[in-house]
Every structure is written in structure tokens, then in C-alpha cells.
């Protein structure tokens, strides 16, 4: 339980740090989504190099949100992702002749097995990317609304004042008979 708490605290801290950077909710969500896509793919560690390149090339990338995806899809979770990818690839492309799940693959089966892994993994990565964007965007917007309640109340009061005349009645828009 202590490890789980430490893990969730790290994710929470990373998300809060990303919210304090000068980024829009869309930039934060897109950064997390891009990080999710890259992290889900079997990049064998090169994903972190890609992250550094993206941060240097694109000023809109929120580096904390980008790297937070690594906390979500860490090496332990990725084994489950690869297993699901492999299974999805087999469902979509069919079995490899002479190979069954649980068998020891031979080098002759390698390209067919890798193809199924990559197809399944790409589909799962796209789904996780879309979901990651939506969830991150909604979290950021909800966080910003909660952290600025006085501002939100003030804006609502100003809108109400603009929508009423000095006598408290709605303004005449000229369409009344």
C-alpha cells in the first residue's frame, strides 16, 4: 500500500507542477497525449530521447505533462500493454501458422509475431492517446476552475450586471411589440 501511495503522490505532484507552468489546458492535455502515444509504443527507451527533442523543438510542449505519461505507463504497466497488444494483433490478423500462445517462438515466426504486436500496440496507443487527452484536458479545466473560484464568481456577477438595466429589468433588444 505504501508503494501505491508513493506512486500516486508522484503522479499528483507531476500534474500539479504541469499546471503551474504557463500552458493552456489544450497544450497540457496535448503534451500528455503525445507522451502517452510515445510511451505506449515499444521504443525500447528511445522515447525519452524523443521527449527531449520535442521539448527543445516545440515551445508549446509542457514538459512535465509529457514526462508524466512515463509515470502512468511505466515498465511494469507496459508488460500488460504488450500482452494486450499481442492478443489484439492475433485477434485482428489471425494466428501465426505453427505457433500458439504459450509456445516458444522460433526465429522463423519472428516477423509475423512482431507484426501482430505492432498492429495491436498501435491501436491501443491511439485509443490511450485519445482517452489521455480527454481526461487530462478535463482534469486541467476542473483544476483551474477550482483554483479560481473568486474570479469565476466575479465574472458571473459582471455578466449579470451587463444583462440587466439599472432598474433590474432585462434590456429591451428592440424585438418587443
Write the pLDDT tens digit of every residue in 112-127. 888 888 999 999 999 9
How far is it, in rounded angstroms, from Cα 51 to Cα 168? 56
pLDDT at 37 over 90: yes
What domain count does the chain have? 1
Q: Is residue 37 part of a domain?
A: yes
| pTM of the model as a whole | 0.67
User: Alpha-carbon Rg of the chain, whole angstroms?
Assistant: 24
The arithmetic mean of pLDDT across residues 47-71, rounded, is 87
pLDDT at 158: 56
CA–centroid distance for 45 within its chain: 19
pLDDT in tens, 13-26: 766 666 666 778 89
Number of helices (H), then strands (E), belonging to the chain: the values are: 7, 0
- In the block, which residue shows the cell 504488450? 82
Q: What is the pLDDT of residue 168?
A: 57
CB neighbours of 116 closer than 8 A, spacing ≥ 6? Answer: 86, 89, 90, 92, 93, 96
What would the pLDDT profile of 72-102 be if each residue is shown by its tens digit?
877 778 888 888 988 898 899 888 776 666 6
Q: What residues make up the domain containing 159?
A: 2-163
Is position 30 within any domain?
A: yes
DSSP secondary structure letter of residue 108: G
**50 lies in some domain:** yes
What is the pLDDT at residue 74? 77
Assigned domain for 171 exists? no
pLDDT for 134? 92
Query: What does the pLDDT read at residue 151?
Result: 46
- Whether 169 is covered by a domain: the verdict is no
Sign of CA dihedral 130, 134, 140, 144: positive
Q: Please enumerate, as own/partner, the contacts of 109-114 that have beta carbons within 8 Å and a separation of 24 or more.
A: 113/86
Residue 52 lies in a domain: yes
For residue 173, being part of any structural domain is answered with: no
CA atoms of 29 and 129, how far apart (whole Å): 10
Q: Is 83 inside a domain boundary?
A: yes
DSSP string, 149-169: HHHHHHHHHHHHHHHS-TTSS
Amino acid at each position: 500500500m505504501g508503494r501505491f501511495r508513493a506512486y500516486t503522490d508522484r503522479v499528483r505532484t507531476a500534474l500539479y507542477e504541469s499546471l503551474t507552468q504557463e500552458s493552456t489546458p489544450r497544450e497540457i492535455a496535448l503534451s500528455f497525449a503525445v507522451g502517452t502515444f510515445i510511451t505506449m509504443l515499444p521504443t525500447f527507451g528511445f522515447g525519452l530521447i524523443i521527449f527531449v527533442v520535442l521539448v527543445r523543438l516545440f515551445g508549446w510542449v509542457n514538459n512535465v505533462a509529457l514526462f508524466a505519461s512515463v509515470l502512468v505507463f511505466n515498465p511494469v504497466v507496459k508488460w500488460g500493454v504488450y500482452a494486450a497488444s499481442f492478443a489484439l494483433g492475433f485477434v485482428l490478423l489471425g494466428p501465426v501458422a505453427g505457433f500458439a500462445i504459450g509456445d516458444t517462438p522460433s526465429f522463423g515466426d519472428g516477423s509475423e509475431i512482431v507484426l501482430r504486436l505492432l498492429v495491436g500496440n498501435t491501436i491501443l496507443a491511439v485509443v490511450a492517446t485519445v482517452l489521455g487527452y480527454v481526461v487530462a484536458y478535463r482534469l486541467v479545466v476542473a483544476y483551474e476552475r477550482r483554483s479560481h473560484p473568486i474570479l469565476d464568481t466575479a465574472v458571473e456577477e459582471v455578466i449579470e450586471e451587463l444583462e440587466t438595466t439599472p432598474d433590474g429589468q432585462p434590456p429591451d433588444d428592440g424585438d418587443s411589440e
